[in-house]
Structure formats: structure tokens, C-alpha cells
Structure 1
């Protein structure tokens, strides 16, 4: 075979309602949050999310900063981004707050190389990195795996996060089973020695009412113990008729720091989520998406209960040796009920319908042990990392299919929710256990301006699958070595060209619709790029070229969108340009451009040589936010504006129809009342609009069609003290 390939509700009404909240809340207060200069720690600030005893977060960035120039995610050591031989994006808490991000997918909207796989979907955070789907195998929390199945994914609440780091390209050498496109590591909010309190109320479209709180500080006078308690309570509707987008999250954390050498942090989270289980609409033909929603509120909810518990331990023996151990267990119970339209009779305006139900129990235990050694051999300084990690995942899944009563669609809107819909009998009952044991080593050797990164790893994976209905058992053992070599030249003017080669290995938990276990995904990437960190202002600019080959690729099953299939080999080549900058006091700017050339090199009949569906070949985004500084006519008043361009993509792997390009706009306006009156310090009002002009667009993938998110306006009132 030739494997070569060529290169809402009314915004005015919401604003008025939010303004009335502001007027009612004006009262004497104290505890300001002034705008900090880049790289500084403001004494009056309460927005400090570092570990106890420090002013930096786990990834090394300054709290409250828009630009972060260090991260531990790419190398598991605190390494400047400019020295890391791969493209990395860090989305700080300030960026999340400026856009009032509501989902993880929304947090990644302005990141180069990241593509949203679906339209508006409150069920899952689904996206690709460099054209490779990372939804079920590429999500990490505090450096540990969040394994997922096709219907059970740990739901991420952005308000509970300190930052989000996107590693682009293979990261298996340090993290084990991960996709070739990269991974997303989310850092939880954690205790701090700076006392603070925050409460926030959000009011938005689709009857959204949400309250947030974030509390933290020392427990004892000596600061040996400190705590963090974060919570979210939301009652909301959605774009889907009669279906909710509700959420309750509580996340306690405690840090024990008996001395400067030892830190133990307990992290936990519990959540209940209730939303829709079906986001699709009826198509009269491929690509001809109608406004006829396929679901039904009488049998259409996805209810999920989840919890996560774990700890991070670090002990520094001396200037040479540091030991770290991170452990976490999380569990997800999901019950998804859905109705789908099977056919429509135009003459009678009757839609025949089917039902489905998926009940999952998914649990994962992960542990990562690291020994970090710093030493020098003559003029060469070394940071050596030796690691041993372990994870196991158990997925228990029941699936049933049935029929639903016909629906008359001649009325506008159709009479959703007017009929009793019985739950189907389970026809599939499977269980899968997967265990991954990995050992890895890394050396970051620096000689003058050169940084050489060498990494190697070996994984042993055991997968056991059982079909209780078919009474069959499968056992699969996989073993693979992965590696990375990268070289960076850090010039005196802040310019750093780099080159790297890396491989990845991804055993995946889950089954095809026929009950067969997935084979491991594997492949490699070549990357060359340049980074620039200017002296004149705070910022990091990255340009990169990459070439990925991926084998045993997962994609949505064209016959059942609740399941996935493996399509063979895919090639992904591309160019990325990204800038995150704070060029002037009060001005924050992001810019991201992606040019992606995807090809199915080996796959199903009729798809070889085609472009995988649902992923645009070009994307461009930019967002800027400016706050008027002291001495101006209205200090404390600010506004943000963003643009997102999604280029053309194909609606199925046969490339039989096209998703048209679309340009979307986002905006924000905010005001710090502490600039008006010192008694109001800590009070902030903000309004954010996503898809400001309510542009209607659709995205089809694997032949299934989804509408994008319509305009969403959210007004928020926050008080920090």
C-alpha cells in the first residue's frame, strides 16, 4: 500500500437584571483586588492560588497573571516554556475569568491546534488536538489520568480550576497511554497561606442561575495547615427543549506543610450533573440539518454522579534529591436515556422513534512516583527524573435499545414530553478492566544556551474484557517502549528554536458496538518550531510545524453515535502560531492560528485518501481585553472582544458533504467598583456574550449533525474580601 500523502435570551434584559443586582448589592466593603503588574504579587490581592507557603501555582505561574511562562506539565519539572521542546499552551485562571468560561471546551476555544469535535454539547468536553481526538484518553487532572469511555467522562468545572495546560504532540513518554495529538492537564485550586473569600452569582440565558464560592487560607496561626473550599450550584435550561444543564460541585482541599522541605496536599471533589443525553437533530439528507430535535424530555436526561479523592506529597531531601508521589481515585456513575428519530413520513408528518439507555460505572486509580535529581557533570547541568506509575480502570456498562411512540411533527413546536416512553431492556452487559504499569526516565541536560531533553519509557498493559450476555472473555496484553528527544537553543534575545521527535502508545478502554475490545493506538511525531519571550513585555509566542502518523485510530461509529470504531491509519501535518501577551498595563491579548492537513491513509472502503470528518483545515482566533487604568476617565471599566474562525470541514469520512466555514464573535464588559468608591473594593460586575451575533451554524461528524451554540449572555456579580 502507498502510505505517502501530500502536504438566547435578550442581552438587554439580562444586562438590566444584572445591573439591578449591582444596585441592590452596593454596601460598604473592604479588601481590594487591584490590577497587578506582570510578574508581581500584589499585597492587597486575594486571588492567590499557590500552594501553601508560595506565590506560585503548581505549574509555576504567578497567581492572577494572564501570561504564564513556566509549567511542570510538559516535563514534570518546573521548566520555562521557552526551554520545552514542544508547543505548550497554559490557560491561566485570569484568562478563564475574563471570558467567564463555563466548560472545558470553551476554555480551549482560543488555543491553537485545538478543534471542537461537535457543536453545542453540554454532555461532554469533546475536542481534538492536531486533528487527533483526545476526549477519552487525553484528559488529566493534577497530572493523573481521567480515563473515559464513549458515554462516561469526568465532567470538568472550570471554576474549580487553577489553570489548564495543553501539551501538543505525544506525551506518552511521561504520562503513559495518551493520544498522539497531545493531552490536557487541569490543575485544581489548592490551599494558600493568604486568607481570602469569594462569592459570585451568575444570571444567564436559558434560565441559568448559578452561585459560586471559593474560600481559603491558613487553619492554624503557624500556617502548618491551610485549606481551600470551592463550590458551584447551577440550575439552568439548555438549547434542547425541556432539558436541563444543572450542576452541583463541591471541592475541599487541605495542605499540611510541617516545614519547608515537606508538603502534603489532600484534594477531593464531588459532583452531581443533570443534562441532556441527545444533542442531535434530524437530517433530511446528509448535511441537510433541520430544526427538528431528535430527543424528548420524557426520556432524554443524562444523570451523572462523580467523585475524586487523592493527594500530592513532596519531600525535598536536599538541593539534589526531591521525591514526589501523586495518588488519585475517581469514580463516575452515568445513566443516559435518549430518544432518536429513526424516520419521518412527510405525508403524515409522523416521526418514528427509537430509544436507548446506557448505564456506566467507571472507576480509575492512578499513582505516580517521581525522583527528581539535580547535578552537574563538568559544564553540563542535569535535571534527571526517574518515575514509576500505575493505573487501573474498571468500566461496567449496560446498554439497551427499544422503540418510542411516534411523534407528530406538524405542530410548532412538536409535542415533546407528551407521551410516556418506556425504558428499553438491556441487551448488552460488558465489563472491562485495564491495568497500566510504566517506568520512565528523563534527562534535561543544559550546556550553555543548549537544552537537550532525552526521555524514555516502557509500559506493560493488561486488558480483560467480559461480555456477560454473550458469555465470552478476552484477555489482551500489550507492551511498548516510547521515547522523546528534543533540542532547544535559547538565544540571549529571547528567541528559542527547537526540534523534537516523539512516539506514543495508547491502549484504550471501551468496546465497539459489537462488543469487541479496542486495540492500542500508536504512532510518532516530528516537530520543529521557535518560541519567543520578549523582554519589553510579558508574553510568549510560539510557531511550530509538525508531522504525525497515527495507527488504530478511534472514530465515531457511523451506525451508532454512542460507540466508536477503529479506522486504521491517519496522517496529520500542520502549522500553528500562537501568542499570549500582556503588552500594556491592563491589556491582555491572545492570538491563535492553525493550518491542518489531515488524511486517512488506511481505513474503511471509500475513505482512503479522504479527510477525517468534523475537523476544520484552518482555524483562527483572537481575543483582547482592556481595563482602563488609574488616571483615565473611567478607571476600572473594561471590555473584551474575541473572534473565532472555523474553516471548512467534511461531514463524514466519505467526504460526501461539507461543513461550511463560520466566524463567531464573543464579547465582555466589566467594572471594578473599588475604583468608584474604596468602600466597594472587591465588588466586580461582568457581562459575557458567547456567539454575540447569534450566528446559526452546524457541524456534522461521521454523518451525524449538530447545531452550534447559539448566543449565550451571562451577567455575573462577584465579591472578594
Structure 2
């Protein structure tokens, strides 16, 4: 039975509700409030790399961040876009037409699970991946290398932590109207302030957006509402309540295209970048996510504090889709299979932290003790027309003359059905000490995790359960020395782990896949903070990957796989003049499969370019007729990647140009202070580029996209 779409508000109704909400708060707010504005992140904010207030430049590991001003200046519309200029991150791995997930890798290792305000966005491993819209973010923080010491189960390449907008005491409301290519229409509101003369501050973020997808016949539609409230109970106690609601009635496509005709030659010609190999009658993706959270920050005294950060999530997603079969000998007729998924997830995560400072001899200790718990309960129903005989029950499509009206969903015959519950639990206990000894900063930490997972199959009628129970201990150690001239060399070692499901053919349960990284680097920040750079060298080894058992059946696995990623990152930001700033980055990465039983040893995994470089230049005009104008331009270079795991061919490198022009309307009138207009063009010259999983599954990169925004502040 087809899932019923969630009830949604019309754009007009949504905008009215948001506006009324902010007006109601504003009426209670004192416009003559002269209190100093709270910090952007609030008292409950913790640095991603340490869960403390230690600055990234004083942390002995590579960290990159993208702040709100940069997100706005570059016209960022998704987390994937926010990562485009971050070194060692290769983003938008499924091309420009697939926008329903933020898929990227960090230092070569794919990460499907982001963090939101320090807590994981629980992902069931299928198609229900929570996705935070960029409108709700204050900053995007990328922590490079293993992070399991603080966050538990996570790949060794690193993590992305999305910092939410928080309530501020100073009254401000932004309303932004958006239009542009792909018939884009959007409206957003961001309102914050103190409620009258109380100890309450609020923030309401809301957005509606609709556009045509890059792929033919597809559409994208989204509704977001993210209110939050700070209650300053006393000088020492802050309680934050936060909600994030997102409804995606339509989220574009998820299908791929054959390599022949896209990245590879085809005697019939070249495919268009808007090609859709699915069917308009069988292309649905509806997702609804509700998250309810709270934070309690209590300062016992000037040295010791407690933070409790918790969130509950209820989400569902329904999908109707097709995937590619074999491309016929005529190189234009593509076999297809139809499938559907119906998924629900409920999760609860909580992180409790006690932090304190004390001195021993000449050293200052900043101690962190933590306990966290993660729980996910998910139900997944999967149906597929594939009968595994090599034939298809779905009409093929001519990729050079596609007919998108061939599938009748009511007549599909599903030959395979899977229906199961997935339950996981993770408990972690961690400790960390930051020692400040003169110019030295030393960090040492350890964490123990207990991970349990149960998968119960209902399709067979027997409710067969498969259980997983694994534990792991990880640690990290790092040191950094701050010279008086701003230079800070550092070195660190860190470990990671990921649970591995299953057993070998002898009945022995698999152990977690582990990773370790050695990193050394040099950081610099000038006294006036106008110049900074970070150079880091890293070597990551991931062990216990599953490979085929050479003495068993094709389905038997053993844990003998190993992958190594090593390279260099350079990231620099500088004010060239009073009205010009520059951000540059470069990454060299050498990633290989170092141990394998299936012929992959010595091969480079897909989606890993050896070279990547970015440049972004901003020019601010303060005088003359164009005063108030900011012009920004960026260049992104991504080197060649492998077309498949066997490295049978390569996906070409590409260079893209982005452009941003904004104008501060306060130069026209003081009454327009905080208001602006902007036009942002990504892939300005419409360069065609590609991404591939294998020769039968490739994606076109994002086409040229020009967006205009008009923001009013009051």
C-alpha cells in the first residue's frame, strides 16, 4: 500500500505562522535593551575537537570550520555545498541531481552520519538519513582524523558537526526571499531576541523552498521549522529547549546513469546532464523528521561545570525508485528494476559531560569526564521486482530518447520482500585531560564503548533475530607548542572504531573495524588574527575490513582487509589588504587498499582524488558609487578519481568557478541596516563533470545554478 504523504503547510501559511511567531516574541521584547549580546554559540557550545572551549588553533589535530558569514556569502544551500572548499573533503559524491543526502568523504573515508550540535544524527544504514538544512546552521565544523575517543562509532577520516543557530539577546529578524534557476522559489525567516524583561531568549528559524530538480521531470520541495528557547535560570544555570522539524514531500532523484555516454564514450553520442533513467510514475521520496532536544549547562563554580545534551528523533521515509540493470549491446537500451522502501526510525541520544580546571605544580589541567548513550529503533520494508535471473519485469528505457511514462505501479510484481526491525544501542564512557604547561598544550584521552545491535527478520514469518555485541577501547594523545611568534608545531596519535556485523564460516563473530592515525603539522596565527594557516601531514590505517574468504563460498567473509590513506593538507586565510581577503587550500592524498583477497590490493578506492585545490577571494568596496558591494569568486579543482574498485578507468579531473555579488542596502538608507541583496552563481561556466561508483553507475555533477536573494532585517 502506498505511503500517504505527510500533511504540509502551504508556503503562504507557513510564512504567516513564522512571521506571527516572531512578532509575538518581538512585542514582548524591549527594543531599548542595552545588554551586551550573547556570544553567537551560547554557553552550551563546545568545540567539536575537544568538547571544551579550547580554540581550534590550540588543538593538536586538523580542524576546519565554515562560519555563517561564509555560508551566506557563498550562497550555500546544503551541507554538501558547505564542504566544497574544505581541504581533504570530497563532496557531492552522487552528483548534482541527488540532493536527498549529504554524501562526502574525509581523507578518503566515506561518512554517512553527521552530527548536529554535538549529537549524532542517527542513521539506519538504508535511505532514512536525517538531513539538516543549512538555513538552521551557525557554523559547520570538520574534525579531521579519528574522533572515536569523544564520539564513539565513526569512520577514521573524521566527522562533520553542524552547529545550530542559538537564541541571542539582541532583537533581530531577517526575512529572505529567494529565486533563481530551476524555477526556484523560497522564503525564510530568522528571528531572535530577548522576551521582554525576562530571563528567556528565543530563536525561530523557518524556511519553505521549491524548485525543479536537475534531472528531467524531478522536483524538490522542503519545509523547515526550527524554534529554540534559552532559559537563564540563574547566573550559573542555562536550559535550552530546541526543536527541528523538516518535511520533504519531494526530494529529487536517486538513480544513476551508465558510464557509456557520460564519462565514457558511446557510439550514440553524449548524454545530457539532465538525463533521468527512472520513471515519473515511479519516482517518490517523502521524508519527515522531527527532533526534540534540550541542553542543561550548570556552572558549579568558576572551575567546574556540567553539560547535559539530549535529543529524541522520530522520522520516516517512503521511496519508489528504479536502479540500473545491464546496458544492451546497442549501447542505448538500459534494463531497469523497480523497488520501494518504507522506513521509520525513532532514536534517543544523550551526552553528559563534567569539565573542570585545577592546577598541579606548574601545569593547568582541563579535565573532561563523559558518559553518552545512543539508541536507534528502525523498521525497514524493502520490495524489489528483480527475480535475480537476469531479466527484468520493468520496461527498459532508451537513454538517448527516454520515455518517463512506462511504469504502472499498480501492476508491478515484487519478487523479493524484506521486512525487518533494526535495534542498536551504544554506551560510551570517556575521559580527557588537557594540560597547559607554559607554551605546551598536551591532550590525552580514552574511551570505552559497548555496542549492541539486533536485526529481526519478519518476512519469513519466524521473526528470526541476529544479534551483534562488540566493545572497543580507543585513545588519543597529542601535543602542541605555541611559539611567541604565532607558530605552533604539533603531533598527535588517535584511534577509531566501527562495528562490523556478521560471522565467518566457522561461526566466529567479527570484531570491530579499527583505525589509527599519526598526524604532524604546523599552525600559525598572527597577533591581529588577520593571517592564519595550517599544514598537516597524516597517515591513517583502517584494519579489519571484510574481504572474501578465499577457501569459502562467494558469500563467506573474513576480516583481512586493510586500507591506508596518507597525505598533506594546506589551508590558509589572510587579509591581503583592508578590503580584500583570500582563502586557499590544497590536498594531496595517496590512498590504497593494502591488504585484500579479491584482487583489490594496491588499488585506490573510488571517489578519492590524489590532488584537490580551492581558492576563494573576497573584495569589499567601501567607497565610491559601488560602496557596499562585496564580490567573491572561487575556483574548485578536483583531480582524477577511479571509475570503479578495480581501477579499470579514470573519471576526469575538473575545475569549477563560482561567483558571488552582494550589496549592503544600508548604504542606501540607515533604515535598511542589516538588509542586503545578493546573486550567487555556482559552476558559473556550466562545466560538465562526473562522479562514478562503477561503469554502470555514474552521475553528472551540478549544473550552473544562479540564485538571487533579497534579505530584509528589522
TM range, smaller chain: 0.7 to 0.9
State the distance in 2 between where 1:209 and 1:680 align. Answer: 23
| Unmatched runs of 5 consecutive residues or more in structure 2 | 1-30, 266-270, 386-391, 548-556
In structure 2, the CA distance between the partners of 1:445 and 1:202, relative to structure 1 (3 Å rule), is: same
Q: Which runs of 5+ in 1 are unaligned?
A: 1-43, 62-70, 556-563
**2:233 partner SS:** strand
Match of 2:448 in 1: 458
Q: How far 1:335 moved relative to its partner?
A: 1.1
Residue of 258, 269, 272 corresponding to 2:233: 258
1:241 equivalenced with 2:213 (yes/no): no
Q: Provide the rounded CA distance (Å) in 1 between the counterparts of 2:662 and 2:510.
A: 48
SS at the partner of 2:258? strand
After the TM superposition, which of the residue ranges 71-80 and 524-533 deviates more from structure 2? 71-80
Matches within 5 A, 1:295-310: 295-310=278-293
Deviation at 1:575, TM superposition (A): 0.4
Alignment partner, residue 122 of structure 1: 99
Question: What's 2:627 paired with?
Answer: 635
Shift of 1:682: 3.0
In the alignment, which of 50, 54, 61 is matched to residue 38 of structure 2? 54
Deviations 1:146-197 (A, max 9, x none): 1222322111200100111000011110111111111100111111111110
Q: Which residue of 1 aligns with 2:381?
A: 398
1:134 pairs with 111, 116, 125, which one? 111
Q: Do residues 171 (structure 1) and 161 (structure 2) align?
A: no
Match of 2:660 in 1: 668
Instruction: Tell me the SS of whatever aligns to 1:543.
Output: strand
- Indicate the larger mover: 144-153 or 156-165: 144-153
- Distance in 2 between the 1:498 and 1:349 partners? 55
Aligned equivalent of 1:720: 713
Match of residue 468, structure 1, among 449, 458, 462: 458
How has the CA–CA distance of structure 1 residues 575 and 206 changed in structure 2, closer, same or farther, with 3 Å as cutoff?
Answer: same
Q: Where does residue 562 of structure 2 map in the other structure?
A: 569
Aligned to 1:84: 59
Residues 1:710 and 2:711 are matched in the alignment? no
Distance 1:184 1:306, change over 3 A: same
Aligned to 1:614: 607
1:147 maps to which of 93, 118, 122: 122
Aligned ranges 1:87-486 → 2 under 5 Å: 87-116=62-91, 117-120=93-96, 121-136=98-113, 139-148=114-123, 149-222=125-198, 224-273=199-248, 274-284=250-260, 287-288=263-264, 290-291=271-272, 292-345=275-328, 350-402=333-385, 405-407=394-396, 409=398, 413-417=401-405, 419-422=407-410, 425=414, 427-470=417-460, 471=462, 472-486=464-478
598 and 286 in structure 1: CA distance in 2 versus 1, 3 angstrom threshold: farther
Question: Measured at CA, do residues 145 and 345 of structure 1 come closer, stay the same or move farther in structure 2, by a change above 3 Å?
Answer: closer
- Relative to structure 1, the CA distance from residue 347 to residue 453 in structure 2 (aligned partners, 3 Å threshold; closer, same or farther) is closer
Work out the CA distance in 2 between the residues paired with 1:178 and 1:252.
29
Following superposition, the deviation at residue 607 of structure 1 comes to 1.0
CA distance in 1, matches of 2:242, 2:251: 26
**What does residue 589 of structure 2 align with?**
596
Asked if 1 retains the 8 angstrom alpha-carbon contact of 2:255 and 2:321, the reply is no
Q: 1:98 to 1:517 in 2, by over 3 A?
A: farther
Distance in 2 separating the partners of 1:52 and 1:164: 25
Between 235-244 and 416-425, the greater mean CA deviation after superposition: 416-425
Aligned residues: 650
Q: Deviations over 1:519-570 (max 9, x none)?
A: 6331110000011011244343110000001124589xxxxxxxx9999321
Q: Distance in 1 between matches of 2:153 and 2:334?
A: 43
Residue 604 of structure 1 and its aligned partner are, at CA, apart by 5.0
For 2:185 and 2:537, the matched residues in 1 are separated by: 44
CA contact (8 A) 1:551 1:569 kept: yes
Question: Judging changes above 3 Å, is the alpha-carbon distance between structure 1 residues 508 and 238 closer, same or farther for their aligned structure 2 residues?
Answer: farther
Task: State the partner residue of 1:587.
Answer: 580
Structure-1 residue corresponding to 2:494: 502
C-alpha spacing 1:640/1:695, structure 2 compared with 1 (3 Å)? same
Q: What is the deviation of 1:303?
A: 1.1
Q: Tell me, yes or no, if the aligned pair for 1:52 and 1:257 is still in contact at 8 Å.
A: no
Change (3 A) 1:539 1:506: farther
Q: Distance in 2 between matches of 1:153 and 1:347?
A: 37
The DSSP-based 3-state class of the residue aligned with 1:110 is coil
- What whole-Å deviation, never above 9, does each CA across 1:122-147 have from its counterpart, x for those lacking one? 121000000011123xx111100112
Which residue pairs with 2:4 in the alignment? Answer: none
Cα distance change, pair 404–350 in 1 and its aligned pair in 2 (3 A) = same
In the alignment, the residues of structure 1 paired with residue 433 and residue 402 of structure 2 have an alpha-carbon distance, to the nearest angstrom, of 63
Compared CA separation, residues 584 and 349, structure 1 to 2 (3 A) = closer
Going from structure 1 to structure 2, the CA distance change for 1:544 and 1:329 (only over 3 Å counts) comes to: same
CA distance in 2, matches of 1:52, 1:537: 23
Structure 1 residues 330-366: Cα deviation after superposition (integer angstroms, max 9, x where no partner): 2321112112342455669654421011222122211
CA root-mean-square deviation: 2.9
Counterpart contact for 1:226–1:255, Cα < 8 Å? yes
Contact 2:680 2:706 in 1 (8 A): yes
Distance 1:706 1:168, change over 3 A: same
Q: Distance in 2 between matches of 1:650 and 1:523?
A: 23
Q: Secondary structure at the match of 2:353?
A: strand
Q: 2:315 aligns to what SS in structure 1?
A: strand
Distance 1:517 1:365 in 2: 27
Cα deviation for residue 582 of structure 1 reads 4.2
Is the CA contact (8 Å cut-off) linking 1:52 and 1:192 kept in structure 2?
Answer: no
**d(CA) in 1 for partners of 2:651, 2:512:** 30
Cα distance between partner residues in 2 of 1:52 and 1:60: 18
Alpha-carbon distance in 1 for matches of 2:313, 2:397:
43
Contact between 1:240 and 1:279, CA under 8 Å: does it hold in 2?
Answer: no
> Could you say if the C-alpha distance between residues 351 and 518 of structure 1 is closer, same or farther in structure 2, counting changes exceeding 3 Å?
farther
Q: Deviations over 1:253-288 (max 9, x none)?
A: 011002221100011111111213423113348952
Distance in 1 between the 2:394 and 2:143 partners?
Answer: 47
* TM-score normalised by length of structure 2: 0.86
Structure 1: distance between partners of 2:572 and 2:245: 35
Q: CA deviation at 1:53?
A: 6.0
Report the 3-state secondary structure (helix = DSSP H, G, I; strand = E; otherwise coil) of the residue aligned with 2:423: strand
Using the alignment, how far apart are the partners of 2:241 and 2:546 within structure 1?
A: 35
- Is the 8 Å Cα contact of residues 268 and 309 (structure 1) preserved in structure 2? yes
Q: Is the 8 A contact 1:193 1:226 kept in 2?
A: yes
Q: Is the 8 A contact 2:381 2:420 kept in 1?
A: yes
Greater mean alpha carbon deviation, residues 347-356 or residues 140-149: 347-356
